[in-house]
Amino acid sequence: MQKRLVSISVPIGLTSVAVGLSVALLVAWTLVMVTQLNIGGRTWLLVVGIVSLAVIIMVLVLSAVLLVREVLEGRRQTGFIDSVTHELKSPLASLKLCLETLDRPALSDEQRRALREMMHDDVDRLSVFIDDVLNASQLASSRQRLEKVTLSVEHAIYRAVQQVCARRRTPRERISVVATNDLTLCTDPTALEIILTNLLDNAIKYSAEGAPVCVVAEQTPQGITRIEVRDQGIGIATHHLKEIFKRFFRVDREEVHARHGTGLGLFVAAGMARRLGGTLKAASPGPGRGSVMRIELPARLRPQPASSAAQVPTKE
Ligand code: ADP
């Protein structure tokens, strides 16, 4: 269940009003002093007063901004811990129940097969979750080393499609791939695989059952490799198109909370894309109208420092 959090717009509003009033007072008092009082040779005193007050106002505004950032980060961390607890507990509880049920002698072969399939799904869910957490932490601590391999983009896409279809138990025909077989890329294959599987997994997860997903790969006239993962799913509101790349961020919508997730997948994918010297961006005509995730990578790997890769998507 979603926790209702106290809105921070009230303290933000009050701080803005207080800052506005202070600036208005500063201006008014200065005018009164200059026009009504005879300050003579003590103008420097007025200047010192104005500068000091301006500095105090700036410090207050800066403190308020930092405080709001901390509160938002704290909220994201709390959301993450809730998701982590849920992501670990529910597959484990389900595995335990399946194992207990499997012990019953009266089960038919069909029932045993269904139980094993459920256990398989739970183990997959746990391993995807652990991979996301590990990738996010590696990204933040520059432990991950990059390889340079020339690979076929079409081949890399097909491998990711195969993995995601097996994991999500969805027919391979659901995902169409449009790519020329001569399109190659010199990059890190593991990082590319992490990006593609994350995007494909989301495209399937945030679409209705059986809805088609399409992957289009092409080379731009500038020699950039562009791969788009297009779905016809729940879509994304314009004001969330950048936020979804932040660590732990999940859109606060019923359709999103109804699906498992931690808000780490896109943070990892965008960080990886930056490490490879490229970008990952999202586009959507709006909620309920599908989404497009666009990766752009240079033809030859241009590694970026892990720190910048990990930090950029977390910016407020
Ligand atoms: P999660 O584990 O929640 O899926 P991600 O980092 O992969 O985390 O995605 C962050 C959020 O972005 C999701 O919670 C969801 O709200 C939104 N999102 C990601 N991909 C899609 C998509 N293809 N369609 C609609 N919303 C998406």
**Is residue 244 lining ligand 1, measured as CB closer than 6 Å?**
yes
Whether the pLDDT of residue 199 is over 50: the answer is yes
Q: What are the residues facing 177 on neighbouring strands?
A: 215
Q: Are strands 224-231 and 184-187 parallel, antiparallel or unpaired?
A: unpaired
Average pLDDT of the chain, as a whole number = 86
Q: How far is the CA of 4 from the centre of ligand 1 (A)?
A: 21
Quote the ligand 1 centre to 284 CA distance (angstroms): 12
Domains 85-141 and 149-309 share a fold: no
Residue 265 in contact with ligand 1 by CB distance below 6 A:
yes
Min mean pLDDT across 20-29, 200-209, 228-237 is at 20-29
Task: Read off the pLDDT of residues 111-140 as tens digits, 9 standing for 90 and up.
Answer: 999 999 899 888 988 888 888 888 777 765
Residue 264 Cβ inside 6 Å of ligand 1? The answer reads: yes
Per the CATH hierarchy, to which homologous superfamily does domain 149-309 belong?
Histidine kinase-like ATPase, C-terminal domain (3.30.565.10)
Q: What is the biggest distance separating any 2 CA atoms in the chain, rounded to whole angstroms?
A: 103
CB 313 within 8 A of CB 270: yes
CATH architecture of residue range(s) 85-141? Orthogonal Bundle (1.10)
Report the nearest atom of ligand 1 relative to the CA of 198: 7
CA distance 80 to 76: 6
Nearest to 194 by CA among 137, 83, 273: 273
- pLDDT reported for residue 46: 81
Is the pLDDT reported for residue 314 higher than 80?
no
For residue 203, the CA-to-ligand 1 centroid distance in Å is: 9
Categorize the per-residue pLDDT at 187 as very low, low, confident or very high, splitting at 50, 70 and 90. Answer: very high
CB proximity list for 77: less than 8 A, separation 6 or greater = 248
Residue 91 phi/psi, 5-degree rounding, is -65, -35
d(CA 202, CA 144) in angstroms, rounded, equals 24
Question: For the chain, what are the domain ranges?
Answer: 2-76, 85-141, 149-309
State the residue for tokens 């606060």. 252
Is residue 202 within 6 Å of ligand 1 at its C-beta?
Answer: yes
- Shortest CA distance to 11 belongs to which of 71, 79, 53, 75? 71
Note the residue count of the chain: 316
| Of 191 and 37, the one with more pLDDT | 191
Q: Which pair of tokens denotes residue 270?
A: 């965008």
Whether pLDDT at 253 is above 80: yes
Residue 20 clears pLDDT 50, i.e. is over it? yes
User: Is ligand 1 within 6 A of the CB of residue 291?
Assistant: yes
What pLDDT does residue 18 have?
Answer: 87
**Pairwise pLDDT comparison (100 vs 12), residue with the higher score:** 100
The CB of 290 under 6 Å from ligand 1? The reply is no
In this predicted structure, the answer to whether residue 250 has a pLDDT above a threshold of 70 is yes
Query: Does 307 score more than 70 pLDDT?
Result: no
Instruction: Quote the pLDDT of residue 111.
Output: 92
> 85 or 5: which carries more pLDDT confidence?
85
Distance 155 CA to ligand 1 centre (A): 25
The average pLDDT across 75-95 equals: 81
Q: For residue 183, is pLDDT > 80?
A: yes
Structure tokens at 285: 């005509």
Please give, one letter per residue, the 3-state secondary structure of the chain.
CCCCCCCCHHHHHHHHHHHHHHHHHHHHHHHHHHHHCCCHHHHHHHHHHHHHHHHHHHHHHHHHHHHHHHHHHHHHHHHHHHHHHHHHHHHHHHHHHHHHHHCCCCCCHHHHHHHHHHHHHHHHHHHHHHHHHHHHHHHHCCCCCCCCEEEEHHHHHHHHHHHHHHHHCCCHHHEEEECCCCCEEEECHHHHHHHHHHHHHHHHHCCCCCCCEEEEEEECCCCEEEEEEEECCCCCCHHHCCHHHCCCCCCCCHHHHCCCCCCCHHHHHHHHHHHCCCEEEEECCCCCCCEEEEEEEECECCCCCHHHHHHHHHCC
Ligand 1 atom at minimum distance from 235 CA? 25
